[in-house]
């Protein structure tokens, strides 16, 4: 559903005249789509204790009075108990808490009401039908409340996205991140960049439009150049971090790999608490890559079970091995599983040499893959032997059968995943590939700026860069540029 | 920039005569006793002349109503046309066969393209214009336009009838009432009253109506518009004092010489009327702290600056420059007013101080120590109609077939006025013939940017064009205005002459042919380097390179290229404009690049 919401928001952002701000019209003309008063069930569908129905628009007060007749409007922003009845038949519907939020101090900026009714389907549909019978009211389209809030300047584009994330946060960490974004932390960061960029662009534009018959100060272009360079550095640093936020949304890719019959599928089933993979004592049971989304220590992860890595098998299993190797290359985190009782076998040694050791050593480009080495079947080891393999890289002992060592593994997973996804409470993260796309687009355009010899082309590159940022922050019209030009320079005749 | 039509002494003079009997000029179709026209244009300024001529070109029997025929084509403010953004507008007006570019090619005395080093998209064609010549040439043009009648008279009121149900609007205009009580019927009416609606002139603490004895008609018209429910706003602007030429010490000032060769404004002209060596120079001087002092000490004598009427964010007057950017030196350009004029126009010195203080201020500027002020600068405040009340065709939402163009819509500048005039004239004519409106979008031209900004955002300062307003600046270049607009103007509006249409078609096909020719010529880079040693082509690697790619090098132009490969490229250098446009197109051409 957030996709639909997002489409609406982005459509609102683009709008028919989105390149220019509408601040001057803002006070006089209502925002897009307003005029009508909308209503919707705001809590989840289905049976629940309390259901919340909201309205937004100029007829909200009228609607509230119609349903609670003949009572007056309750005091603003105070919950009051009222008997709701159908305005046509006078038939009582429910005894409910109602709230009255006169605009502009409301979620959408318009007059809003909330009806907290009992959650039975009959009550909810009765109230919705009663609202539909009030003149001037119509059911809201998906995301329309948020869209109106955005249109009235109550939410920035990033905040709207943050809200969408909040509604659909699947895990605790995502919820925290969405909450932070609702406060506009990422928005603040982007706004700061947009401000710098707008100023640099305004100075270049001023140089184009006024340098020949008005006198601009010396060094206008040099200053713009240095601002652009600084911005490039800041964006570059941020973008190198950016993939972490993306991982959080879709989940980190955790790939379970190892030689055949080490217990990979058992581990997957243990972590996902459900029988995802068929487990059998026969080597080569898993032949394809099996994926399952799981919540690992509060982080969303995509857990992949792979075919055991070995050579000299039939064509189907060989394809499985090929897929497993491909998946290993894409993994954010490898859970390498070995049979603790079978470490000397050629398959285990080969796996240690080709997968575990290289990953542990890291590679010069810095793209080292994270890897946790798990020695399974610890229950089969002789009792009292705490660490039988001191010469192996750091590893964890686990018994999928008894569950021994699982807590230690989860703790280690949490540490690795937190590092991968970033801790949402320590800073704004890019939750959407869209953000990354626009920031990268901005950075690319700034690169074009430096190369352009024709000043009009250079300015165009800055315009493109600013366009990308304003997709994240809103705004970005030419009037902002002119404001800066006339504030910073004495031009005009 | 200050551009009121007929103010100061000239207004006073013109309006005392406004009751003189109507005199008709030209008029090949309408007999005086059957006053019924397709289009009636009110006002003979830059918007009015373009509107009347455009409507007549489109085939409508048109009447231009003006207070005085001899003020038609008057440049009442700065003695120049064009500039960055404004030059773009002029090229587009010309592409629609408008007048001002052609008249400027016959009347300029100093032609210079601004921003030559910043890329062809932002080149600003500009010229100092001889006021007298401009007026003469414009009147000659207007009085000889077929289907166009000129009449002196002041409009008092509009005749309104029931609206056409298939269009929006509360009323429909069907004619005008003149000050002498006579009526003229019209299918469409274009209002280009400039700053005439309740205009007030301000010098120091003195304020008086711009039209003094003769402002009855404009007040009547303003009242009519207000009564109809138009939202009216108020703007202010100003003009600098004029200085006697022989009293200026030019020898100690920076001299600016015109371009050689001069680049004409109009697509149909290869050259301008005057040789570069016969053109007049401009001079540059600067303000100093003494000027700041005089302004700041005398703010109490300056009600124009104190008043709350919205002035622009940019700095039109020396007072606003000093107040907003203190302790700075500001440029003052000393511009000639005409070939045989003994006046100098100090661009950048617009001021509303009392006259004697203006003179004092002038004489503390370098080069002007002994300057004689011939006429003081002054401010003007006037009514404008909120342009959100008009559609992109410039027809008002409220009154069908009534069109607004020029300063009445809150713009400033001759070029902005002319651009709206052409569009209003075309649409007034199309409306009569029940044809769809002719609208230029923001992607097609600066005219589109101008009208879209006005009609959707409105304005609360005199709106002036800048290239930074255009989102599609790289493609809305002065050089290609004809390919953007001439064909549409010819086919959809009928406002373009056959001659111009053929010229634009020839240019289009020559460009296409030239580009494919340049693509077809290919040598190794080492050979290009020997052919054009001046170029920075690297001869290190021997790569095949098309002539088109060679032309992308900054230092290579068609002239150099044709010297290297005379056959078949020589013929493309015979027309300067074609050669220059091929160079621009090559630079813009994507694909295999030279670098």
Q: Map chain A to HEC letters.
A: CHHHHHHHHHHHHHCCCCCCCCHHHHCCCCCCCCCCEEEEECCCCCCCCEEEEEEECCCHHHHHHHHHCCCCCCCCCCCEEEEEECCCCCCEEEEEEEEEECCCCCCCCCCEEEEEEECCHHHHHHHHHHHHCCCCEEECCCCHHHHHHHHCCCCCHHHHHHHHHHHHCCCHHHHHHHHHHHCCHHHHHHHHHHHHHHHHHHHHHHHHHHCCCCCCCCCHHHHHHHHHHHHHHHHHHHHHHHHHHHHHHHCEEEEEECCCCCCHHHHHHHHHCCCCCCCCCCCCCCCCCEEEEEEECCEEEEEEECCCCCCCCCHHHHHHHHHHHHHHHHCCEEEEEEECCCCCCHHHHHHHHHHHHHHHHCCCCCCCCEEEEEEECHHHCCCCCCCCCCCCCCEEECCCCCCCCHHHHHHHHHHHHHHHHCCCCCCCCCCCHHHHHHHHHHHHHHHHHHHCCCHHHHHHHHHHHHHHHHHHHCCCCHHHHHHHHHHHCCCCC
3-class DSSP state for residue B131? helix
Chain pair A-B, CB pairs under 8 angstroms:
100
A490 vs B contacts (CB less than 8 Å): 315, 321, 324-325, 328, 330
How many Å lie between the alpha carbon of A35 and the closest alpha carbon of chain B?
19
Report if pTM > 0.90. no
The 10s digit of each residue's pLDDT in B408-424 is 999 999 999 999 999 99
The 10s digit of each residue's pLDDT in B324-349 is 888 888 999 999 999 999 999 999 99
Query: Which position has the higher pLDDT, A344 or B2?
Result: A344
Nearest CA in chain A to B413: A493
Note whether A24 contacts B324, CB cutoff 8 Å.
no
How many Å lie between the alpha carbon of B64 and the closest alpha carbon of chain A?
31
Q: Are strands B80-82 and B331-336 parallel, antiparallel or unpaired?
A: unpaired
Residue identified by tokens 């480009």 is A365
Parts of chain A with a pLDDT under 70? 1-34, 44-48, 70, 121, 141-142, 162-185, 241-251, 312, 360-368, 384-388, 421-434, 492-493
Helix (H) or strand (E) holding B512: helix B498-520
pLDDT attached to residue B196: 80
Q: What mean pLDDT comes out for the span B385-408?
A: 97
pLDDT attached to residue B8: 29
Most confident option among A119-123, A481-485, B351-355, B464-468? B464-468
Task: State the angle between helix axes of B86-95 and B100-107 in degrees (0 to 180), rounded to the nearest 10.
Answer: 110
The 10s digit of each residue's pLDDT in A246-295 is 555 556 788 898 888 888 888 888 888 777 777 777 777 777 788 887 87
The 10s digit of each residue's pLDDT in B12-24 is 223 333 333 334 4
- Chain B residues 53-92 with CB within 8 Å of chain A: 78, 83-85
Tell me the pLDDT of chain B averaged across its residues. 89
Note whether B471 contacts A482, CB cutoff 8 Å.
no
How many Å lie between the alpha carbon of B124 and the closest alpha carbon of chain A?
9
A453 vs B contacts (CB less than 8 Å): 554
Of B118, B314, B453, the CB nearest to A492: B314
**Residue B387 to residue B382: CA distance in whole angstroms:** 15
pLDDT attached to residue A111: 94
Nearest CA in chain A to B87: A209
Of A459, A478, A493, the CB nearest to B316: A493
Of A19, A454, A490, the CB nearest to B315: A490
Question: Is B587 an 8 Å CB contact of chain A?
Answer: yes
Measure Cα distances from A84 to A67, A318, B495 in Å: 5, 68, 67
pLDDT attached to residue B401: 97
Q: What mean pLDDT comes out for the span B493-498?
A: 97
Question: Is B471 an 8 Å CB contact of chain A?
Answer: yes
A463 vs B contacts (CB less than 8 Å): 471
Question: Is B233 an 8 Å CB contact of chain A?
Answer: no
Note whether A490 contacts B330, CB cutoff 8 Å.
yes
How many Å lie between the alpha carbon of B491 and the closest alpha carbon of chain A?
28
For residue B260, count CB atoms less than 10 angstroms from its CB and return exposed for 0-12, middle for 13-18, buried for 19 or more. Answer: exposed
A17 vs B contacts (CB less than 8 Å): 456
* Nearest CA among A382, A389, A309, A292 for reference residue A348: A309
ipTM attached to this prediction: 0.85
Question: Is B122 an 8 Å CB contact of chain A?
Answer: yes
pLDDT attached to residue A397: 87
Question: Is B326 an 8 Å CB contact of chain A?
Answer: no
Note whether B468 contacts A483, CB cutoff 8 Å.
no
Of B316, B468, B554, the CB nearest to A482: B468
Note whether B471 contacts A481, CB cutoff 8 Å.
no
pLDDT of residue B217 exceeding 50: no
pLDDT of residue B25 exceeding 50: no
Of B312, B473, B474, the CB nearest to A492: B312
**Residue B159 to residue B68: CA distance in whole angstroms:** 23
Beta bridge partners of B152: B66
Note whether B329 contacts A491, CB cutoff 8 Å.
no
Of B119, B457, B469, the CB nearest to A455: B119
Of B312, B460, B468, the CB nearest to A209: B468
Of A25, A210, A456, the CB nearest to B473: A456
B474 vs A contacts (CB less than 8 Å): 456-457, 460
Question: Is B552 an 8 Å CB contact of chain A?
Answer: no
A212 vs B contacts (CB less than 8 Å): 84, 114-115, 124
Q: What mean pLDDT comes out for the span B206-235?
A: 75
Note whether B473 contacts A460, CB cutoff 8 Å.
yes
Interface mutation vs chain B, best among A16, A29, A208, most B CBs within 10 Å: A208
Note whether B474 contacts A456, CB cutoff 8 Å.
yes
Of B321, B458, B469, the CB nearest to A478: B469
The 10s digit of each residue's pLDDT in B62-102 is 999 998 899 999 998 899 999 999 999 999 999 999 999 99
Note whether A482 contacts B315, CB cutoff 8 Å.
no
Q: Are strands A290-296 and A299-305 parallel, antiparallel or unpaired?
A: antiparallel
Half-sphere exposure of B407 (CA within 13 A, CB side): 29
Task: State the angle between helix axes of B46-57 and B414-432 in degrees (0 to 180), rounded to the nearest 10.
Answer: 30
> What band does B592 get if pLDDT is binned at 50, 70 and 90?
very low
**Residue B121 to residue B85: CA distance in whole angstroms:** 10
pLDDT attached to residue B23: 40
**Residue A465 to residue A438: CA distance in whole angstroms:** 9
pLDDT attached to residue A12: 37
pLDDT attached to residue A304: 86
pLDDT attached to residue A366: 42
pLDDT attached to residue A476: 77
Interface mutation vs chain A, best among B312, B455, B457, most A CBs within 10 Å: B457
Q: What mean pLDDT comes out for the span B476-494?
A: 97
Note whether B458 contacts A483, CB cutoff 8 Å.
no
How many Å lie between the alpha carbon of A24 and the closest alpha carbon of chain B?
7
Residue identified by tokens 């005398």 is B298
Query: Which position has the higher pLDDT, B534 or B30?
Result: B534
């Amino acid at each position: 559903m957030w996709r639909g919401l997002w489409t609406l928001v982005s459509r609102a952002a683009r709008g028919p005249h989105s390149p220019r701000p509408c601040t001057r019209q803002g006070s006089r003309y209502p925002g897009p789509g307003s005029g009508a008063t909308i209503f919707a069930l705001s809590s989840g569908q289905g049976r629940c204790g309390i259901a919340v129905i909201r309205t937004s628009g100029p007829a909200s007060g009228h609607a509230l009075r119609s349903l609670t007749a003949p009572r007056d409007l309750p005091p603003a922003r105070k919950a009051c108990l009222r008997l709701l009845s159908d305005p046509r038949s006078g038939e009582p519907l429910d005894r409910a808490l109602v709230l009255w939020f006169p605009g502009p101090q409301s979620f959408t900026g318009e007059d809003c009401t909330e009806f907290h009714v009992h959650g039975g389907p009959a009550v909810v549909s009765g109230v919705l039908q009663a609202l539909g019978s009030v003149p001037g009211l119509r059911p809201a389209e998906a995301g329309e409340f948020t869209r109106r809030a955005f249109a009235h300047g109550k939410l920035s584009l990033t905040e709207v996205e943050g809200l969408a994330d909040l509604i659909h946060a699947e895990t605790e960490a995502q919820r925290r991140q969405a909450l932070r974004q609702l406060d506009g932390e990422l928005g603040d960061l982007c706004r700061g960049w947009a401000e710098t960029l707008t100023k640099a662009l305004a100075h270049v534009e001023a140089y184009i439009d006024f340098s020949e018959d008005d006198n601009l100060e010396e060094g206008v272009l040099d200053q713009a150049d240095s601002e652009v360079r600084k911005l490039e550095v800041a964006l570059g640093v941020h973008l190198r971090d950016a993939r972490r936020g993306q991982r959080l949304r879709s989940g980190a890719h955790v790939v379970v790999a190892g030689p055949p019959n080490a217990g990979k599928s058992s581990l997957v089933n243990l972590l996902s608490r459900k029988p995802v993979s068929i487990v059998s004592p026969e080597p080569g049971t898993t032949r394809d890559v099996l994926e399952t989304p799981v919540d690992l220590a509060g982080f969303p992860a995509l857990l992949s079970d792979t075919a055991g890595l070995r050579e000299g098998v039939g064509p189907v299993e060989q394809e499985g091995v090929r897929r497993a190797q491909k998946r290993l290359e894409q993994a954010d985190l490898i859970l390498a599983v070995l049979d603790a009782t079978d470490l000397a076998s050629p398959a285990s040694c080969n796996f240690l040499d080709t997968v575990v050791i290289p990953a542990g050593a890291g590679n010069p480009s810095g793209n080292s893959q994270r890897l946790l080495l798990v020695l399974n079947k610890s229950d089969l080891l002789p009792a009292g032997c705490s660490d039988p393999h001191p010469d192996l890289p750091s590893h964890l002992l686990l018994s999928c059968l008894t569950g021994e060592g699982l807590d230690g593994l989860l703790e280690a997973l949490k540490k690795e995943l937190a590092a991968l996804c970033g801790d949402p409470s320590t800073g704004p993260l890019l939750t959407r590939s869209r953000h990354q796309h626009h920031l990268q687009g901005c950075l690319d355009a700034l690169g074009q700026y430096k190369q352009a010899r024709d000043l009009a082309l250079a300015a165009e590159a800055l315009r493109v860069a600013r366009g990308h940022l304003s997709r994240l922050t809103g705004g970005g019209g030419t009037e902002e540029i002119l404001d800066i030009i006339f504030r910073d320079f004495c031009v005009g005749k | 920039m200050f551009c009121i039509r007929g103010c100061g002494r000239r207004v006073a003079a013109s309006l005392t005569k406004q009751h003189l009997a109507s005199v008709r000029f030209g008029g090949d179709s309408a007999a005086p006793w059957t006053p019924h026209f397709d289009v009636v244009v009110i006002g003979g300024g830059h918007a009015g002349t373009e509107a009347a001529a455009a409507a007549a070109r489109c085939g409508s029997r048109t009447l231009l109503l003006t207070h005085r025929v001899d003020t038609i084509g008057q440049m009442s403010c700065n003695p120049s046309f064009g500039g960055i953004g404004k030059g773009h507008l002029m090229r587009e007006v010309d592409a629609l066969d408008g007048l001002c570019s052609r008249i400027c090619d016959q009347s300029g005395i100093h032609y210079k393209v601004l921003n030559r080093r910043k890329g062809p998209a932002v080149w600003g064609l500009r010229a100092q214009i001889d006021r007298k010549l401009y007026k003469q040439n414009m009147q000659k043009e207007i009085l000889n336009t077929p289907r166009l009648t000129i009449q002196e008279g002041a409009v008092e009121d509009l005749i309104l009838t029931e609206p056409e149900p298939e269009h929006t609007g509360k009323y429909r205009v069907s004619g005008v009432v003149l000050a002498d009580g006579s009526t003229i019927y019209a299918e469409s009416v274009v209002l280009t009253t400039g700053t005439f609606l309740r205009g007030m002139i301000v010098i120091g603490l003195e304020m008086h109506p711009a039209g003094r004895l003769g402002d009855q008609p404009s007040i009547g018209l303003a009242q009519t518009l207000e009564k109809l429910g138009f939202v009216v706003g108020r703007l202010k602007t100003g003009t600098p004092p004029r200085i006697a030429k022989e009293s200026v010490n030019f020898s100690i000032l920076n001299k600016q010489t015109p371009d050689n060769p001069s680049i004409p404004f109009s697509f149909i002209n290869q050259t301008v009327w005057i040789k570069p060596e016969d053109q007049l120079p401009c001079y540059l001087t600067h303000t100093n702290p003494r000027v700041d002092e005089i302004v700041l000490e005398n703010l109490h004598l300056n009600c124009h600056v104190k008043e709350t009427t919205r002035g622009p964010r940019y700095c039109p007057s020396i007072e606003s420059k000093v107040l907003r950017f203190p302790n700075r030196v500001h440029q003052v350009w000393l511009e000639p007013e005409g070939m045989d004029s003994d006046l100098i126009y100090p661009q950048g010195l617009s001021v509303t101080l009392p006259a004697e203080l203006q003179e004092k201020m002038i004489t503390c500027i370098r080069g002007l120590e002994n300057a004689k002020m011939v006429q003081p600068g002054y401010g003007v405040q006037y009514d404008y109609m909120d342009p959100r009340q008009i559609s992109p065709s410039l027809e008002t939402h409220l009154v069908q077939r009534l069109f607004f163009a020029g300063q009445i819509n809150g713009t400033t500048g001759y070029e902005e006025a002319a651009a709206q005039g052409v569009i209003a004239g075309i649409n007034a004519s199309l409306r009569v013939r029940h044809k769809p409106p002719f609208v230029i979008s923001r992607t097609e031209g600066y005219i589109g940017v101008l009208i879209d900004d006005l009609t959707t955002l409105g304005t609360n300062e005199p709106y002036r064009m800048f290239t930074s307003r255009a989102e599609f600046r790289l493609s809305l270049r002065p050089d290609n205005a004809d390919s953007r607009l001439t064909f549409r103007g010819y086919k959809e509006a009928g406002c373009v002459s056959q001659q111009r249409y053929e010229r634009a078609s020839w240019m289009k096909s020559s460009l296409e042919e030239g580009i494919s020719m340049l693509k077809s010529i290919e040598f190794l880079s080492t050979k290009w380097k020997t052919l054009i040693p001046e170029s920075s082509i690297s001869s290190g690697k021997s790569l095949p390179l098309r002539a088109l790619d060679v032309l992308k090098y900054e230092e290579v132009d068609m002239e150099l290229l044709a010297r290297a490969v005379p056959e078949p490229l020589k013929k493309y250098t015979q027309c300067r404009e074609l050669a220059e446009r091929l160079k621009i197109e090559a630079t813009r051409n994507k694909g295999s690049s030279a670098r």
